[in-house]
Amino acid sequence: MPIIELTASLMMILSQGSSIGDDSQPPRPNIIFIFTDDHCTQALGAYGSRMNTTPNLDRIATEGMRFDNCFVTNGICAPSRAVVLTGLHSHLNGQRVNGPAFDGAQVTLPKLLRESGYQTAIVGKWHLRSAPTGFDHHDVLIGQGPYYNPTMIRNGTRHAHVGYTTDIITDKAIKFMSRRDTDRPFMLMYQHKAPHRNWQPGPDHLDMYADETMPEPDTLLDDYSGRGSASTRQTMTIARDLSRHDLKLDPPRNLTEEQLERWNAAYGPRNELFEQRQLEGEDLVRWKYQRYVKDYLRCVASVDDNIGRILDYLDQEGLSGNTVVIYSSDQGWYLGEHGWYDKRWMYEESLRTPLLVRWPGVVDPGSSSDDLCQNLDFAPTILDMAGLEPPASMQGESLVPILEGDSPDDWRDSIYYHYYENPGAHTVPRHEGVRNSRYKLIHFYRIGEWELYDLDRDPDEMRNVHGDPAYSDVLVEMKLELQRLRQFYRLPPLADDDPFPQLDEEAKSPRSRQTLEQDQR
């Protein structure tokens, strides 16, 4: 960075920052962790989207760093959130599947920040059933929360709202910042429900893309040949598994009269045309794809608009210079690749998650990294940003050296993944696996199948080379690496690692009956 720019950034930090303790130290940065639900890199401009633009998210990338190889450890909502809070893999933080209440008694990122003098807040989607711990302020959706007119729990009390949830969550994030204690730095987790199923667009975006045709992925009509049986067992196809509700052939049930009128004005004529056309076969799949993907992108558009409001607020208040802005999602997503919606798989589209970090004065604007990172790293990274030593018990690594442009020579060269939720929605078999910069080995251990992919030659993962003699050496290396990672991350034997007996015990215990609302009373 040129000296003049660096000096300007330092001046901004010194003039705008809030600090505690030693005045000779630079102030600790504020941190805004922006988290969406199911937003994949294929629908983000900075990652080269073919379908939509995201000017405000792109601004975080052009003013900061884009991580091109950030992966999750367990691609589903609640487990991913637990990993972010704890810096631990699912088998150690206890949240292997959606459903059971998160154990909020354990060491978490917000607790450590709060103890060190940060104001901590979470607004928006929480999704962990137990009451949030470690936050000075929380204002969260109940469970998944609706797209319109949410009831939310603010510091233990329920409040009903009328409006679009993405806008409301942003109003609350700005309100928290405007009322914060300006003598201390803050860490705000600003977490959207969008663009989670079933993708209900906001009132301003109901007609967006109406006259456009979105490009289809090459694998929309995938027949799953060339792979094992796992991909044929799922129930997440655009062709068969989307409901009338998902496809907006029936309107949402919780709209106000005015909202419903606007909704029907947008979808009514399009639905009439669809009913008249009597589509079948591949034509029907293609129509469903267009309807689905446009609604998803409309939800992303609202997220992007609202992130713009946050960035503008930081500018207006003179906070941008000393506020780290992090953007990520709880995992990736399928926008028709392999014929799917949803996530869960260790295949690329859902394994990869966006990660953008703007940190003025530290991160080179417009930079990128292809180091292998995981959501496991988020808690240690944020602690490091705040000048705190991450606890040795956390399994992630701080990304701060990478953000400073100095990737460690001994950075990890493979990542571990484990998906547990079966039986469960969309019937994806349990699997674990290892991915390095070129190969991916997946073990569907309950059905006794392995898959090996050469991502350089087969980026869409269409040809399982597990049985190909040309890859026998690679297979041995990848199996050894999987065993090494199992030991390194202290995985129990597969036979003992079943989340469902635990869920049953949980369901009987008084602890798990304490839902979020009950905890608040």
Binding region for Ca ion (CB under 5 A): 37-38, 77, 330
State which H helix or E strand residue 440 sits in.
Answer: strand 439-444
CA 272 → CA 80, 296, 322, distances in Å?
Answer: 40, 21, 52
- Kindly state the smallest distance separating residue 331's Cβ from Ca ion, in Å: 5
Quote the tokens at residue 333. 């997503």
Looking at the chain, how many residues does it have? Answer: 521
d(CA 189, CA 124): 8
Q: How many CA atoms lie within 13 A of 316 on its CB side?
A: 9
Tell me whether residue 174 or residue 335 sits nearer to Ca ion (CB atom): 335
Please tell me whether residue 214 adopts helix, strand or coil conformation: coil
- Kindly state the smallest distance separating residue 255's Cβ from Ca ion, in Å: 24
- Kindly state the smallest distance separating residue 78's Cβ from Ca ion, in Å: 9
Tell me whether residue 192 or residue 294 sits nearer to Ca ion (CB atom): 192
- Kindly state the smallest distance separating residue 74's Cβ from Ca ion, in Å: 11
Tell me whether residue 36 or residue 120 sits nearer to Ca ion (CB atom): 36
- Kindly state the smallest distance separating residue 450's Cβ from Ca ion, in Å: 27
Classify each residue of 110-149 as buried b or exposed e, where b means 16 or more C-beta atoms within 10 Å of its C-beta: bbbbbebebbbbbbbbbbbbbbbbbbbbbbbbbeebbbbb
Tell me whether residue 320 or residue 353 sits nearer to Ca ion (CB atom): 353
Check the CA dihedral 276-282-287-291 and report its sign.
positive
- Kindly state the smallest distance separating residue 140's Cβ from Ca ion, in Å: 16
Q: Nearest 10 degrees: CA dihedral of 166, 298, 254, 193?
A: -40
d(CA 191, CA 187): 13
Tell me whether residue 333 or residue 439 sits nearer to Ca ion (CB atom): 333
Per the CB < 8 A criterion, the answer to whether 333 and 40 are in contact is yes
Cα diameter, the chain: 72
Q: Which strands, in side-by-side order, build the sheet including 449-454?
A: 415-419, 431-435, 439-444, 449-454
Tell me whether residue 61 or residue 77 sits nearer to Ca ion (CB atom): 77
**How far separated are the first and last CA of the chain, in Å rounded?**
52
- Kindly state the smallest distance separating residue 37's Cβ from Ca ion, in Å: 4
Among 264, 256, 341, residue whose Cα is nearest residue 296: 341
- Kindly state the smallest distance separating residue 458's Cβ from Ca ion, in Å: 26
Tell me whether residue 343 or residue 443 sits nearer to Ca ion (CB atom): 343
Tell me whether residue 80 or residue 259 sits nearer to Ca ion (CB atom): 80
According to DSSP, the β-strands at 137-141 and 30-36 are: unpaired
Please tell me whether residue 336 adopts helix, strand or coil conformation: coil
Neighbours of 475 (CB within 10 A): 18
Q: What are phi and psi of 467, to 5 degrees?
A: -95, 5
Tell me whether residue 248 or residue 343 sits nearer to Ca ion (CB atom): 343
Q: Nearest 10 degrees: CA dihedral of 503, 504, 507, 508?
A: -140
Among 50, 346, 69, residue whose Cα is nearest residue 215: 50
- Kindly state the smallest distance separating residue 329's Cβ from Ca ion, in Å: 7
- Kindly state the smallest distance separating residue 330's Cβ from Ca ion, in Å: 4
Tell me whether residue 101 or residue 452 sits nearer to Ca ion (CB atom): 101
Give the nearest residue (CB) to Ca ion.
77
Tell me whether residue 330 or residue 371 sits nearer to Ca ion (CB atom): 330
The rounded Cα 210 to chain-centroid distance in angstroms is 27
Tell me whether residue 37 or residue 377 sits nearer to Ca ion (CB atom): 37
Strand partners, 453: 440
Quote the tokens at residue 422. 């079966």
- Kindly state the smallest distance separating residue 246's Cβ from Ca ion, in Å: 16
- Kindly state the smallest distance separating residue 26's Cβ from Ca ion, in Å: 36
Please tell me whether residue 372 adopts helix, strand or coil conformation: coil
